[in-house]
Amino acid sequence: MSNSIDFPRRKGNTRAYFALALIAFLAILFFTGAFSFLSWDSIRDNLQSWQATTRANLPLAIGIFLGVYILVASFSIPVAGPLTLLAGALFGRWLGTAVVSLGSTTGACVAFLLSRYFFRNALTSRLGDRGLAMLDGIEKKGRYYLFALRLVPVFPFFLVNIGMGLTRISLVAFAAISWIGMLPGTFLYVNAGTALGAIDEPKDLLAPSTILALAAFGLVPLLLRWLLWRGTTRREVLRAIGIAVVVVAVAMGIRIALRYSTAPEMPVPIREFSNAEYPEDPALRSVHHGRYNGRSLNLVHRDATHFDFVFTGKDAHIARIAFRNIDVSLMTPSLPEWAKADAGVRRIALTDRQWNRQQVRFEPSEIEIDGGDGFEKTTLVSAELAKNCLNAGLWELLLFTKEGGEKTLYYQGWFTFPLGQYRKLFEQNTGLPYWQHAWYLEHWFDPAGTHIPAEALRTVVGERIVPTAYDPHERILSGGEQNRKRRTTMAENVVEWGDFTGTKKIRFAAFIPPGRYSVANPWKNEYRRLDTFRDAVLRDVICPGSSKPLHELELRFDSSVRSGVCRFIVGGFDADALPILATSDYSKGLYRPMGIGVPPFFQTYRETQANPPQLDPFYCNLLDENDRWIDHHTFGIDGPVMHRDEKNPRRIHIYMLSYERHSLIGHWVVDR
């Protein structure tokens, strides 16, 4: 046969002993449930702990993971899929792709060598004439077939490894082609795994874009086969591939240059939604909503941090509205000086600064309103710029009038603040190179498990466990924006606080680009981890961002469904300065987002100027028992609300805001 090769032979007993040892080893793994940790329930229960351990011991974690993956790939243990997804959740898309790529290629090579040197004779003797003829066909186009099978794995991984071990292909060629062919699919699955902590079922990871990309890969082998069938030489094929790579690289370079380009004046398009296009909008809309659409933005760069925002309409009845000399550094990520020393504090501060909404209000006297039909000149009561709680650069313009004594929205437009300017502002605000932080600021990447040392946030001068009441059967309170957002809570018969932490399925309309709510993308939560309230601790603290004594309040929870403690910590506030309110007026209390050095959700421009976020000592985090950050976005918590009791000012009421502030999810009453 043309595919016969004189390989070194092993004695029959050696092969038999090896085969028996291998079978015994795999049997032990199977019957002991050694890979049960890769079950879906196990991953969901332990993911944040694994992420924290990975961050604390990255080299060791990579080594262990790589060893396990090589073992799995070498012997085709059927857990490579979950393991690949887990790599994305533990290491991120780029490092995870590198680790999985190395592990899968090494494992494939181990299986290839076992087939070639230990089991070749046993396998070929069982192939028969048809199998040998197939090997002979593969021999002629072996590299092409290997690349096609790696790119589109229509045959099981182990069959490809074993089959190629019976051909003349060299180990180096096998490894190189396998690595290149598996790389695109590896990246897609690892990238999908980065969202592992935010979904309920594995099927939720396969977005339409992922499926389409995998389908597109199937066209590549067909294209190569067509080129070979037409008589194209290997050198011509390689030249075409090289040219394609260069073209892609140049295109990516041009895209990056355009993405971060800047100019003294930049036209910025605005996205607008009609009433019909955005039925989920929880805003209290004016009867004039939709009558003043059709605006564009001209952004004028005045100095390092100040810009003019000039909004003009395409129709004569729309007024020109201009925000002059706005200090945009107040609305882009910044860092408290004291947060820069610790990498974990720095990362969480920047992440939450970008992920939290900041809506800044301007009075009509603070802006210019010219032209139009007179409606906006005479009835506009508030013009607001918002940095929404999504990726870098996503902003909004909101214009309000008043009807029936209530503030109503008559215009909303979404635009992208130029990323080149955003980059410059970030570097000026923080003193950090933007490219080290660009990925997670421009994409939703969860830093769960990041260690937050308590001593970096404050110094404790006194603490005590304080009497705290929580009644799971108390009826849910609703006021302020929660009244408007009730229809975006996707649940039935949720009337008590305990319904949030019980077994009822509660979802919220997700906040999606460019900055709108969508019931088609329900947002899940982890409220059951709060089902057992343990106690509360009140501390007297000194914060580096303030010269006067402040307070920190910590609520601690156990869970009946998951091990470990959840700690909801609010600090850097003055308990004696909290507003005195009735519970029905809770929304007028301290109403803040999660994070470190973050501004309030809503604030006037003058308040923002007087209280720059990077000088604010306030902080609020969700941590585990080891001071590791729990991703409150995935958890479904957006921040605290606090006020003092109207009858007993020594009593503090504290509430938790749900994801996107759709609802309150709990109410605790603390006696100091």
How far is residue 214's CA from residue 668's CA, in Å, rounded to a whole number? 49
pLDDT, average across residues 639-655: 97
pLDDT given for residue 190 in this prediction:
83
Residue 637 maps to a domain: yes
Q: Once rounded to an integer, what is the mean pLDDT over residues 442-456?
A: 84
The structure tokens listed for 340 are: 């820069």
Joined tokens for residue 396: 């909004």
**Residue 1 maps to a domain:** no
Query: What mean pLDDT comes out for the span 345-359?
Result: 93
Q: Look at residue 319 and tell me if it is in a domain.
A: yes
Examine the pLDDT at 318 and tell me if it is beyond 70.
yes
One domain for residues 35 and 182: yes
C-alpha pair distances (Å), 209 with each of 82, 251, 255 = 20, 21, 20
Residue 127 tokens, joined = 């192939």
pLDDT above 90 for 324:
yes
Query: What do you get for the CA distance between the two ends of the chain, in Å?
Result: 89
Mark whether 279 and 239 lie in a shared domain: no
The verdict on 601 and 650 lying in the same domain is yes
Is 446 part of any domain?
Answer: no
Radius of gyration of the chain (CA): 30
Q: How many residues does the chain have?
A: 672
Tell me the backbone φ, ψ of residue 466, rounded to 5 degrees. -110, 145
Whether 196 and 326 share a structural domain: no
Q: Are 99 and 69 in contact (CB under 8 A)?
A: yes
Q: How many domains does the chain have?
A: 4
Least confident range from 219-228, 277-286, 542-551, 651-660: namely 219-228
Instruction: Determine, yes or no, domain membership for 155.
Output: yes
Q: Mean of the pLDDT values across residues 5-34?
A: 50
- Asked if residue 230 has pLDDT above 60, the reply is no
Q: Which of 433, 463, 481 lies at the terminal end of a domain, its last residue? A: 433
**pLDDT over 80 (residue 164):** no
Same domain? 368 vs 460: no
C-alpha span between 664 and 669 (Å, rounded):
14
Q: Which domain holds residue 232?
A: 221-259
At 92-102, the pLDDT tens digits run 878 888 999 89
- The whole-number average pLDDT for the span 57-61 is 82
The answer to whether residue 646 sits within a structural domain is yes
284 and 421 co-located in one domain: yes
Q: Are residues 359 and 493 in the same domain?
A: no
pLDDT at 26 over 60: no
Task: Say whether both 408 and 459 belong to one domain.
Answer: no
pLDDT of 366 strictly over 90: yes
Q: What are phi and psi of 617, to 5 degrees?
A: -80, -5
Angle in degrees, CA 454, 441, 339, rounded to 5: 25
Q: Which two tokens stand for residue 246?
A: 């260069």
274 and 245 within one domain = no
Smallest Cα–Cα separation from 458: which of 617, 624, 627, 629? 617
Please give the distance of CA 38 from its chain centroid, rounded to a whole number. 22
Contacts of 505 (CB under 8 A, 6+ apart): 491
Residue 375 lies in a domain: yes
255 and 271 in a single domain? The answer is no
Greater pLDDT, 286 or 68: 286
* pLDDT for residue 219: 54
Q: What is the DSSP letter of 37?
A: G
Domain identity same for 525 and 666? yes
User: Is 55 a member of any domain?
Assistant: yes
Q: How confident is the model at residue 8 (pLDDT cuts 50, 70, 90)?
A: very low
Domain end among 154, 183, 217: 217
Note the pLDDT of residue 160. 73
Q: What is the mean pLDDT of residues 584-588?
A: 96
Say if residue 227 is in the same domain as residue 279.
no
Does pLDDT of 671 surpass 90?
yes
Q: Which of 41-55, 335-349, 567-581 has the highest mean pLDDT?
A: 567-581
